[in-house]
A and B are shown apart, each in its own frame.
Chain A
């Protein structure tokens, strides 16, 4: 097993990997940018290497700096987390050249699937069902119009190098095609350093369901069940659960088998996820392979009891999978809420800033994978994910009630978060019935939000109590040696009134 590894990421996922390292007696080395000098992942690591400016291209996206950091601290392996360089063949290639183990798939399968159009061609060859659309990326505007007409509207423009909803646009009419194309290309360029986009037919009322797989270096591949990821806002997953309330056992098994076939066809290794779009009739189509640890991996960990990060490290170290398909038996129900620094009452605008107060939930079946602490300043340079709250229950109902309870305990003050939005979702009859698809949130946002009048009253009373306290405090004598400009000002004003 490795003695020391470098974690080429930040935020909650860096913390997650650090935790696995600690439990395996591996020395975790963090990297940090200018904006992350005081980040939680740095505080929890054993060693940390500074890698440059806040701008991702100067730090977390910079292959040279990360490889140099690994060599400098003597790390034998690099864990990329998700996002940033997680699916970047250049980093994998560099690691292979420098004799550093990359904790993830080898460069060849990564190259095949990292680019989505080549992944689609490859899957078609392997007999895996794919969504109709272009097999090549589209770069020319005239070509775009012609191809779009062939596929038919509505359609999706997708970043060939993309993932996570970035560089993705839904186009319903031909007149929206060109502006959407330009935005998708510019977003793809800034997120993935590659502007290529391709066209895919848009499936109506879709479910987004993915299968977790693990593959070792000896040809053993297992799947660890599915995650229902249809709860999305603007193509970004916000809540995931396992098992899916939509799937039947037959479809579930079939998807597992196809997922194993898909990764076997490309010589995939380590942890990965095969994403599918499932239509109303439960026909499923290959969407992409996510060649990394997913944000929502804890959901699978909670139902299977398998630590996916530890499995990644074991596989990368050359050990065979210690269990087979027959040993995987998911139990109970798990779900995850992605708590973001966004304002749900103002069109989900990003809300970076300082966290002045933090109370995190605990108790049976509650897990909080977080990258923040009280006093932490959430930078504007990166993804707004603050933490992932995960609950497990014997049944779906118990998992939901536990999540509702945990969210009511979760207090993040100083910035705005999506916690109230989840509280709304968790009470919605359609969610409770498990009858939702990827359109749920867009429809929910059109419904009026129920206000709790008692909260407004309590807020006003709290303000009055605080005002009274502030007024009293300003009358207090100044403690010798302690200078307080507010008190000084208050006394001046009081004196002025008396004169």
Chain B
């Protein structure tokens, strides 16, 4: 079986073929690897790649596999979804600032219509007792601020937009 994945903004072609009892031959790009895989549960795999053991959790949805390994997270994007996402981003000139963490807005330091400079703090977000300044990613005009002081925000929410 052949797969096309994206990882860290690079494209990888991966193929799998069975080459014996519980043994797989995997190709990543041009390199071949001897692989064995035991599913411990639906998402947990005891993986051996070229003799080295990896304890892996793979949590999947329709666009990507989240691969947890050695305390790290590798987000392996399925081809089509990643492409769509990139094309959509390419169309946008404005920059939406998303938060990667949920939290509470403590203070909004600029108003809609303000000209902001790159690196200028626009709002202060508090999560887990630490206050973080969320800065403008580029010079431009602040066209949208979606929250006010005291509001709770979810991870992934768009905080403000700079055009």
Question: Which residues of A are interface residues toward B (Cβ below 8 A)?
Answer: 166, 183, 186-187, 190-191, 341, 343, 345-346, 349-352, 356-357, 359, 380-384, 407-408, 410-414, 416-417, 419-420, 423, 452, 454-471
A455 touches B58 (CB 8 A): no
A-B CB proximity, top 3 nearest? A419-B71, A459-B74, A413-B68
B132: A residues at CB distance < 8 A: 349
Which of the residues A190, A345, A411 comes within 8 Å of B126, measured between beta carbons?
Answer: A190
User: Within the complex, what minimum Cβ distance (angstroms) separates A423 from chain B?
Assistant: 7
Interface string of B49-74 (1 = CB under 8 A from A): 11010111111100001011111111
Which of the residues A407, A416, A462 comes within 8 Å of B58, measured between beta carbons?
Answer: A462
B residues 6-27 in Cβ contact with A at 8 Å: 7-8, 12, 14-16, 24, 26
Q: How many A-B residue pairs have CB under 8 A?
A: 159
Considering only CB atoms, which chain A residue lies closest to B106 in the complex?
A: A186
Considering only CB atoms, which chain A residue lies closest to B53 in the complex?
A: A458
Bound together, the chains give a CA A381 to CA B71 distance in angstroms of 24
B14 touches A460 (CB 8 A): yes
B35: A residues at CB distance < 8 A: 461, 465
Which of the residues B49, B100, B107, B124 comes within 8 Å of A349, measured between beta carbons?
Answer: B100
Question: Which residues of B are interface residues toward A (Cβ below 8 A)?
Answer: 1, 3, 5, 7-8, 12, 14-16, 24, 26, 28, 31, 33, 35, 37, 39, 43-45, 47, 49-50, 52, 54-60, 65, 67-74, 76, 78, 100-103, 106-107, 124, 126-132
Bound together, the chains give a CA A471 to CA B2 distance in angstroms of 12
Bound together, the chains give a CA A357 to CA B49 distance in angstroms of 22
A420 touches B101 (CB 8 A): no
B16: A residues at CB distance < 8 A: 461, 464-465, 468
A350 touches B101 (CB 8 A): yes
| Given A186-B131, A411-B71; 13 other pairs, CB 8 A cutoff | A341-B128, A349-B100, A349-B101, A350-B128, A407-B71, A420-B72, A454-B52, A459-B76, A461-B16, A461-B33, A462-B56, A466-B60, A467-B1
B73: A residues at CB distance < 8 A: 416
B1 touches A464 (CB 8 A): yes
User: Within the complex, what minimum Cβ distance (angstroms) separates B103 from chain A?
Assistant: 6
Which of the residues A417, A455, A461 comes within 8 Å of B26, measured between beta carbons?
Answer: A461
Which of the residues A357, A420, A465 comes within 8 Å of B47, measured between beta carbons?
Answer: A465
Interface centre among A166, A465, A468 (most CB of B within 10 A): A465
B106 touches A464 (CB 8 A): no
User: Within the complex, what minimum Cβ distance (angstroms) separates B49 from chain A?
Assistant: 5
Bound together, the chains give a CA A176 to CA B28 distance in angstroms of 51
Which of the residues B7, B50, B129 comes within 8 Å of A456, measured between beta carbons?
Answer: B7
A407: B residues at CB distance < 8 A: 71
Considering only CB atoms, which chain B residue lies closest to A417 in the complex?
A: B71
Given contacts A356-B57, A416-B73, whether A468 and B1 have CB atoms under 8 Å apart is: yes
